[in-house]
């Protein structure tokens, strides 16, 4: 099977490309490298350097493909509040173009990178796929709009699964080197705490949240487990059917717990200081992952120590190919 991976130069996309190739899939990549890195794309993939908004590039990238895994998107909550039009354009219009070109090319299989941000501030924990969708940012709103667009498209034959990620972390050692988060600026907790120094301590965004230790609780899932779920999704697509499935670990860690756990993994204290709350952060996000278990036969195999340990190893090695 040949799979088009849109956003295949990004953190999660490039990991998907490497794992798909290792499992014997053929891969095309479409990425404009606006946030991704061309050197993260395996040389074995056919790489189209172009935007999801460029109809010609999308149609070229789809050539010979049987299925699409669609990661290409803008994905920062804070940036989406500042630039809602950019998020509408890339995430919604980009997917509209992709779906139209897939229909033209007769490619009727899609796995979509959705997000827990579609649920917003949850009323009930853990969050099931039936929880209310009340996104609190343009990022979440645009991803929800895409999920709805895919549901509509499934009525005309598309076989699709949207995977709603909670907090993705960790790194993957591919045959040609480590693939890891290389965001600029980096906003995510685990890469940031591993880079913290006495001069530039980690900022802990609030310790007055309604949680056991006052810091926010998140559900972290290892990027390799996440990609395993994508491949299972790819193999379990059903014609004219769109499923929405949460991906997390089903448990949560507070920011303080992640910091303490990371200190144990790397054998030294993590310099940290208290900062004010970050706007848009909900107090607690934990996934109910029973649907992933029952529909995909998936459950995560790697724990928070693996996520911290692999990120640490990747930061101490060269990344890319
Ligand atoms: N966080 C933090 N300091 C940082 C980065 C993140 O305290 O430098 C907190 C953040 O407020 C949230 C949790 O860590 O409660 C996870 O944040 P991250 O940005 O990794 O993922 P998000 O939950 O925003 O998708």
Cis ω for the linkage preceding 194 (within 30 of 0): no
The answer to whether 220 touches 304, Cβ cutoff 8 Å, is yes
pLDDT at 41: 97
pLDDT at 318: 53
pLDDT tens string 50-105: 999 999 999 999 999 999 999 999 999 889 999 999 999 999 999 999 999 999 99
Q: Report how far ligand 1's centroid is from the alpha carbon of 189 (Å).
A: 5
Give the residue ranges of DSSP H helices in 155-243.
Answer: 189-195, 223-235
Which residue in 115, 117, 119, 108 sits closest to 150, CA to CA?
108
Tell me which residue has its CA closest to atom 10 in ligand 1: 205
Separation between Cα atoms, residue 177 and residue 51, nearest integer Å: 26
Tell me the CATH architecture of domain 172-219+250-319.
Answer: Alpha-Beta Complex (3.90)
Point out the residues that are catalytic. Answer: 139
Separation between Cα atoms, residue 255 and residue 204, nearest integer Å: 7
pLDDT at 73: 98
Q: Which CATH class is domain 2-169+221-246?
A: alpha beta
Residue 278 CB less than 6 A away from ligand 1: yes
Residue 286 CB less than 6 A away from ligand 1: no
Separation between Cα atoms, residue 271 and residue 262, nearest integer Å: 11
Q: Report how far ligand 1's centroid is from the alpha carbon of 140 (Å).
A: 16
Q: Say what the pTM is.
A: 0.97
Give the residue range(s) of CATH 3.90.25.10 domains in the chain: 172-219+250-319
pLDDT at 184: 85
Query: β-pairing, 159-165 with 167-169?
Result: unpaired
Q: What is residue 107's DSSP assignment?
A: -
Tell me which residue has its CA closest to atom 16 in ligand 1: 189
pLDDT at 321: 41
Q: Report how far ligand 1's centroid is from the alpha carbon of 232 (Å).
A: 28
Instruction: State both tokens at 75.
Output: 């994905």
Which residues in the chain come in under a pLDDT of 70? 318-321
Give the residue range(s) of CATH 3.40.50.720 domains in the chain: 2-169+221-246
Separation between Cα atoms, residue 223 and residue 208, nearest integer Å: 30
Q: Which atom of ligand 1 is nearest to the CA of 215?
A: 15
Residue with tokens 């139209």: 100
| Probe residue for ligand 1, chosen from 115, 135, 208, 278 as the CB with the greatest number of ligand atoms within 8 Å | 278
Residue 258 CB less than 6 A away from ligand 1: no
């Amino acid at each position: 099977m040949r799979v088009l991976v849109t956003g295949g130069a990004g953190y999660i996309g490039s990991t998907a490309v490497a794992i798909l190739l290792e499992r014997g899939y053929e891969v095309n990549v479409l990425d404009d490298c606006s946030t991704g890195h061309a050197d993260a794309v395996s040389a074995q993939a056919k790489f189209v350097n172009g935007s999801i908004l460029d109809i010609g590039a999308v149609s070229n990238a789809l050539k010979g493909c049987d299925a699409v895994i669609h990661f290409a998107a803008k994905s920062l909550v804070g940036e989406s509040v500042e630039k809602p039009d950019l998020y509408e354009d890339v995430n919604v219009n980009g997917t509209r173009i992709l779906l139209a070109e897939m229909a033209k090319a007769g490619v009727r299989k899609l796995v979509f990178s959705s997000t827990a941000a579609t649920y917003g501030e949850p009323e009930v924990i853990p969050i099931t796929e039936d929880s209310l969708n009340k996104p609190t940012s343009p990022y979440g709103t645009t991803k929800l709009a895409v999920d709805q667009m895919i549901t509509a498209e499934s009525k005309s034959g598309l076989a699709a699964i949207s995977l709603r990620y909670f907090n993705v972390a960790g790194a993957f050692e591919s045959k040609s080197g480590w693939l890891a988060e290389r965001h600029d600026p980096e906003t995510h907790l685990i890469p940031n705490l591993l880079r913290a120094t006495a001069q530039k301590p980690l900022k802990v965004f609030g310790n007055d949240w309604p949680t056991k230790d006052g810091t926010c609780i998140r559900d972290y899932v290892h990027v390799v487990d996440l990609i395993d779920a994508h491949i299972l999704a790819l193999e379990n697509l059903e014609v004219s059917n769109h499923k929405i499935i949460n991906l997390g670990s089903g448990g949560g860690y507070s920011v303080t717990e992640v910091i303490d756990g990371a200190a144990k993994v790397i054998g030294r204290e993590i310099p940290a200081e208290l900062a004010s709350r970050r706007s848009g952060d909900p107090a607690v996000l934990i996934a109910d992952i029973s649907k992933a278990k029952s529909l995909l036969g998936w459950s995560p195999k790697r724990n928070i120590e693996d996520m911290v340990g692999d990120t640490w190893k990747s930061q101490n090695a060269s990344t890319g190919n």
